[in-house]
Structure 1
Amino acid sequence: MVRNVLGTVLALIGATAAVWSPFRAWYDGRLGRHFRLGELFSGGGITAAHAELFASLFLPFAFAALVTLAGLLLRSRLAVAFAGVVVLGFAVLWMVRQGQAAGSLSVAGDGSGLGLGVLGALGGGVLLLLAAALMAGRVRATGPPPPDDGTSPQPKPRRFGARRLRNRSPHHTEEPQPPTGPLPGG
């Protein structure tokens, strides 16, 4: 239970960091929500054009956050890990495309180069993967055995004394009979 609680907390922090990252500076002071999502997959690459919110990097990160919430509700490690891969994948894809457009990626203290938005996305993705690894997942309930569907071998009849019950209905009950004959020790 402690593992699930810690995994849930890490997953929520990771999803929050991922969703918040497009509202931070990504490169040269430009916000992540200003990068068009289609530019990551087009031949032209990253341009200076601004994007609408739901056509920007915000969309895959919001999707990953929804998958994370569903994974936490269902206790699915796979869903949380998938969300982490989506966040990291889009952040790395953006870095590759931005590096192609700018010629190189740099980090500078004056606000030029990579910004905190990229760090938030990468950190959020890593936290989601750590949360998936930490979570215990679903607990499998051990219930009664499944009903016999006729494919399993039939159990042997029970023996009562020297007699075997054969061809009896399962609903047939018989009163026990007292033993006949001399009693031992008497």
Structure 2
Amino acid sequence: MVRNLLGSVLALAGATAAVWSPFRAWYDGRHGRHYRLGDLFSGGGVTNVPAELFASLFLPFVGAALITLAGLLLRSRLLVALAGVIVLGFTVVWLVRVGQAEGSLVISGEPGNGLGPGTGLAFGGGLVLLLASVVLRGRGRGVRGDRAEPVYVPPPDPAVPTLDGAGG
């Protein structure tokens, strides 16, 4: 029970970090909600064209959060792990596409320059979701095939003598 509680708290924290990340700066002060989801998979790459909220990085992260909630309700470690893989996958694809568009990625300590806290939140949220899937205990496996079938034992025959001398 403690493992499930700790895993649930970790999963909710990871999903929250992932959903919150598009509202933070991802690169050069540009928020994640301004990156179009289609740009990640198009030949043109990441552009400066702003995105609508549900056409941005927000959409896969909200989807991952919903998968996390379903995983917690169903006590499915696999669904929580899938949510973590989705968050990490979109974060890594975004990193690759922005790196291609910019020529390189810069990590800077100055606000508004280089990778921002949104990228860290998304990456950390995905890792926490994967950790939660390891910590969660999941559903107990009911071993149906290994249960012994009841064996019929006939009642003792009164005509056969027993060791205690009570029979026949």
**Could you state the TM-score of these two structures normalised by the residue count of structure 2?**
0.87
Equivalent residue of 1:160, what SS? coil
Give the structure 1 partner of residue 80 of structure 2.
Answer: 80
Q: What residue identity is the alignment partner of 1:125?
A: G
Give the structure 1 partner of residue 138 of structure 2.
Answer: 137
Cα distance in 1, alignment partners of residues 153 and 69 from structure 2: 52
Deviation at 1:47?
Answer: 0.4
Deviant stretches of 4+, over 6 Å: none
Q: 1:94-127, CA deviations, whole angstroms, 9 ceiling, x for partnerless residues? A: 0000000000001112221100000000000000
**Could you state the TM-score of these two structures normalised by the residue count of structure 1?**
0.78
The RMSD of aligned alpha carbons is 2.5
Cα distance in 2, alignment partners of residues 157 and 73 from structure 1: 44
Cα distance in 1, alignment partners of residues 142 and 151 from structure 2: 26
Give the structure 1 partner of residue 156 of structure 2.
Answer: 160
Cα distance in 2, alignment partners of residues 79 and 60 from structure 1: 15
Moved more, 106-115 or 1-10: 106-115
Deviation at 1:87?
Answer: 0.2
Q: Where is the helix percentage greater, Structure 1 or Structure 2?
A: 2
Cα distance in 2, alignment partners of residues 86 and 155 from structure 1: 50
Give the structure 1 partner of residue 68 of structure 2.
Answer: 68
Q: What residue identity is the alignment partner of 2:156?
A: F
Distance 1:69 1:101, change over 3 A: same
Deviation at 1:139?
Answer: 2.5
Cα distance in 2, alignment partners of residues 107 and 156 from structure 1: 73
Cα distance in 2, alignment partners of residues 156 and 68 from structure 1: 48
State, as a whole percentage, how many aligned pairs show the same letter.
64
Give the structure 1 partner of residue 59 of structure 2.
Answer: 59
Give the structure 2 partner of residue 49 of structure 1.
Answer: 49
Question: Which consecutive residues of structure 2, in runs of 5 or more, have no partner in the other structure?
Answer: 160-164
Question: Which consecutive residues of structure 1, in runs of 5 or more, have no partner in the other structure?
Answer: 149-153, 164-182
Q: What residue identity is the alignment partner of 1:115?
A: G
